[in-house]
Structure 1
Amino acid sequence: MTRQGTIPFFAPDLFEDDRDVLLDLVRATGTVPGQKFILGERTAAFEDALAETLGAAHVVACSSGTSALTLVLTAMGVGPGDEVIVPAYGCAPLGNTVVEVGATPVFADVDPLTTVVDPACVEAAVTSRTKALMPAHMFSVMADMPAMREIAGRHGLRLVEDSAVAQGGVLDGRPAGTWGEAGVFSFVQVKTFGTAGEGGAVVTDDPELARAVRALRNHGQEGQRFVHQRIGRNSRFDELLAAFQLHRLPGLPGRLERRARIAEHYTERFTPLAEHGITPPPPGRNGRCHYVYSLLADERDALQAHLAAHGVDSHVYYPQPLPHQPAFARFAPEGRTWPHALAASRRQLALPVHPRLTDAEVEHIADTVCAFAAR
């Protein structure tokens, strides 16, 4: 524990074991011949290594997961007059990126238990203006990607998989990030494959889409420097972080396994608590990811206060559904409701699940939740 006995939600010493390596890489990157700090050989090597782990044809590293979504939508030609169906409950980039390319986000309600977007609600939201579907994996659960693929195929829609929180998740034997025409990852520190900074990636088997994204991330340059075939942006990847991620990639399975085992223990302890208003995510590993471990609690605020009183940090994600946020109010049709997204925003509470937790800390967290339920 840290901070006078508090178990932190995110590990403050996440990179402690890699500190010397990171410092050495700073020097090595700064003294390499040519001093290329962005989009160099290390970035290319990292892209290749990540593609190999996923069985994907192309990985394009970029500046963030949010930027990755914008690059994909732009490369797909999504723009003014188009609609993109996104979850009503989730992170702001689901809406921001759609608006940024000039299109309209259409919000679909979520499953009341898993909080991922409900395929039936997606189907109901399709119109003649729909250009793409953009489901997102949430907290501990991957979206129903087989259903998303079926809907997209039947309606002739593009499919973008927001797997920013789900690297390492596998559904029906297929890795997160490889279900759509393109998937995206985020490497911000707290993600399952977070780094010491910001970063993201686009994953695709489509060579033309990959080529377009590579150009768009570097001011629209393709092949020849200072020759711009299209309007692009600055979304380039850092060579230092590429080298650091290459160093940490072999250890990712072990860290993911630790997260999964902690989550399984929580779910085993918490499943009997449903009658007390505390609902864990569904058990099992198929279609699961462990960015954070998210409960649904009828007395969420009281549970959070109880955890804090017993030295456990917890976190409320998305206290309002996206269509209830002021930034997206103009995209929320009058009279439309998203009841399950609203319920999730009032009940969701995430517990620490990072791999640096000790067994004793995990047990203390589980005991504290169970004690609250037994009041």
Structure 2
Amino acid sequence: MTAPPIAADAAATTIPFFPPDLFDGDREALLDAVRAIGTGTAQKFILGEHTAALERALRSRLTAATAGAAGDVVACSSGTSALSLLLAAMDIGPGDEVVVPAFGCAPLAATVLDAGARPVFADIDPLRLTIDPAAAEALIGPRTRALLPAHMFSVMADMPAFRDLADRYGLRLIEDSALAQGGTLRGRPAGCWGDAGVYSFVQVKTFGMPGEGGVAITRDAELGEAVRMLRNHGQDGAHRFVHHRVGHNSRFDEVMALFQLHRLPGLDGRLARRAEISAYYSRRFAPLADRGLVAPPVGGDGRFHYVYTVLTDRRDELRDHLAARGIASHVYYPRPLPAQPAFAPHAAAGPGAGWPNAASAARRNLSLPLYPHLTDAQAEHIADAVHAFADTYICTDTNRER
């Protein structure tokens, strides 16, 4: 790997999980964007020319990647809001059901409930950690209107299987690709498998920014037009104060749009560096599989590199072991969604029941630092620390069992 230099004593360096300096190299560009928008004669702070330019630029990238029209890219206030807008644009509401993963981020269930519909929780694949197509199919019923698979950590959901399910049952397919920008499966970008998808631009995402924002993506022009209208209180843009639908306030910030346009040319390089670090981890951790530590495979189709997550029954001990060596790690989603107090009343079974793989993932997952300016020495220190844990703890337990 090639990376910026680091002090020789890597072990003495604290390695954050969420680095506070993600945008240090772009600080002047950010200040320039603030000045440009703040002093511009138009005094247009939301949904202006820069937002439109960012939408066009992202649409062009997707068009090039899919060798065809990408349809529409609609900038909005967050990835969560993009999901809400899509549900509204599809007229999903009271009496409807949406099949969602039992393991993942709260908006998977919250946006469905906010729409007045009911989330139906399906268990996940134990290795992908994404919703299991067979489990989802078993839950499709007369009220099911949509499937909502989500990509997780660094692995895309089985979108060909979900595309087939949606087509066979006549369902809408919404792809929660909020954290998967840059991933591809069978040559098709994340976000372009469903009737619509979303990306999130929150700070730590692959195309993150120092603010909230996201986009809805669809190749359905009519659906894109509806989302565009709904993000601005149901107005169509041409006729202010004419509200065609009950809409939302989900408008994109012009400063952030200009800043993202500045950072877009460097996105592929940052994605490549993430992939390089991820592949290094996977090569180092592959021998640990028979010692109880499961890591993602090296590269392969359907991968993206948002966070790098391992599974182990001794998750909390590994986290403490890393912390003692100056390495911060992170536990995502320590409860399955059906076990969350907000969503348990809407789950078909009792909290945690009926979703064993989701419960296992919640108990065993730990994510390691993964960001573009992580240095080679830091990545090696992290990998060495994980190996030391496996040699000291997991291997000792294995020998004792024998």
Residue 310 of structure 1 aligns with an amino acid whose one-letter code is R
Matches of 1:329 and 1:173, distance apart in 2: 38
Residue 340 of structure 1 aligns with an amino acid whose one-letter code is N
Which position in structure 1 is the counterpart of 2:397? none
TM-score (norm 1): 0.98
Displacement of 1:275 after TM fit? 1.6
* Residue in structure 2 matching 1:272, options 279, 284, 287: 287
Displacement of 1:285 after TM fit? 3.1
Residue 136 of structure 2 aligns with an amino acid whose one-letter code is V
Residue 250 of structure 1 aligns with an amino acid whose one-letter code is P
Q: For residues 246-275 of structure 1, what are the alpha-carbon distances to aligned partners after superposition, in whole Å with 9 as ceiling and x for unaligned?
A: 110110000000000100000011111012
Question: 1:131 aligns to what SS in structure 2?
Answer: strand
Residues 76-91 of structure 1: pairs in structure 2 closer than 5 A: 76-91=90-105
Which position in structure 1 is the counterpart of 2:333? 318
Which position in structure 1 is the counterpart of 2:205? 191
Q: For residues 78-132 of structure 1, what are the alpha-carbon distances to aligned partners after superposition, in whole Å with 9 as ceiling and x for unaligned?
A: 0000000000000000000000000000000001011011111011110010000
CA contact (8 A) 1:114 1:282 kept: no
Question: 1:327 aligns to what SS in structure 2?
Answer: coil
Matches of 1:265 and 1:282, distance apart in 2: 10
Unaligned runs of 5+ in 1: none
Answering whether residue 142 of structure 2 is matched by residue 124 of structure 1, we say no
Query: Identity of aligned pairs, percent?
Result: 65
* Residue in structure 2 matching 1:71, options 70, 85, 98: 85
Answering whether residue 192 of structure 2 is matched by residue 175 of structure 1, we say no
Which position in structure 2 is the counterpart of 1:110? 124
Range 316-325 or range 279-288, more displaced: 279-288
Residue 196 of structure 1 aligns with an amino acid whose one-letter code is P
* Residue in structure 1 matching 2:345, options 321, 326, 330: 330
* Residue in structure 1 matching 2:62, options 44, 54, 60: 54
Which position in structure 2 is the counterpart of 1:345? 362
Residues 21-60 of structure 1: pairs in structure 2 closer than 5 A: 21-55=29-63, 56-60=70-74
Which position in structure 2 is the counterpart of 1:17? 25
Residue 132 of structure 1 aligns with an amino acid whose one-letter code is A
Displacement of 1:333 after TM fit? 1.7
* Residue in structure 2 matching 1:249, options 241, 257, 264: 264
Matches of 2:86 and 2:211, distance apart in 1: 22
Displacement of 1:334 after TM fit? 3.0
Residue 242 of structure 2 aligns with an amino acid whose one-letter code is V
Matches of 1:128 and 1:83, distance apart in 2: 9
Matches of 2:35 and 2:241, distance apart in 1: 29
Residue 55 of structure 2 aligns with an amino acid whose one-letter code is E
Q: For residues 53-89 of structure 1, what are the alpha-carbon distances to aligned partners after superposition, in whole Å with 9 as ceiling and x for unaligned?
A: 1111210000000000000000001000000000000
Matches of 1:124 and 1:109, distance apart in 2: 11
Q: For residues 334-353 of structure 1, what are the alpha-carbon distances to aligned partners after superposition, in whole Å with 9 as ceiling and x for unaligned?
A: 35510000000000000001
Unaligned runs of 5+ in 2: 1-5, 64-69, 393-402
Q: For residues 298-318 of structure 1, what are the alpha-carbon distances to aligned partners after superposition, in whole Å with 9 as ceiling and x for unaligned?
A: 100000000000110000000
Which position in structure 1 is the counterpart of 2:387? 370
Which position in structure 2 is the counterpart of 1:163? 177
Question: 1:284 aligns to what SS in structure 2?
Answer: coil
Which position in structure 2 is the counterpart of 1:224? 239
Answering whether residue 304 of structure 2 is matched by residue 289 of structure 1, we say yes
Structure 1 consecutive aligned stretches of length 4 or more whose deviation exceeds 6 Å? 1-4
Matches of 1:51 and 1:231, distance apart in 2: 27
Residue 232 of structure 1 aligns with an amino acid whose one-letter code is G
CA contact (8 A) 1:11 1:356 kept: no
Displacement of 1:4 after TM fit? 7.0
Residue 294 of structure 1 aligns with an amino acid whose one-letter code is T
Answering whether residue 220 of structure 2 is matched by residue 206 of structure 1, we say yes
The 1:248/1:324 distance shift into structure 2, 3 A limit, reads same
Question: 1:230 aligns to what SS in structure 2?
Answer: coil
CA contact (8 A) 1:304 1:314 kept: yes
Q: For residues 202-245 of structure 1, what are the alpha-carbon distances to aligned partners after superposition, in whole Å with 9 as ceiling and x for unaligned?
A: 00011110110011000110121111111001000000100010
Displacement of 1:32 after TM fit? 1.1
Displacement of 1:331 after TM fit? 1.5
* Residue in structure 1 matching 2:315, options 278, 289, 300: 300
Matches of 1:307 and 1:107, distance apart in 2: 33
Displacement of 1:283 after TM fit? 2.6
Displacement of 1:3 after TM fit? 12
Which position in structure 2 is the counterpart of 1:5? 13
CA contact (8 A) 2:97 2:118 kept: yes
* Residue in structure 2 matching 1:354, options 357, 371, 374: 371
Residue 382 of structure 2 aligns with an amino acid whose one-letter code is I
Matches of 1:128 and 1:60, distance apart in 2: 31
Question: 2:255 aligns to what SS in structure 1?
Answer: helix
Question: 2:343 aligns to what SS in structure 1?
Answer: helix
CA contact (8 A) 2:80 2:107 kept: yes
TM-score (norm 2): 0.92
Matches of 1:126 and 1:192, distance apart in 2: 33
CA contact (8 A) 2:11 2:381 kept: no
Which position in structure 2 is the counterpart of 1:147? 161
Which position in structure 2 is the counterpart of 1:237? 252
CA contact (8 A) 2:11 2:326 kept: no
Displacement of 1:5 after TM fit? 2.4
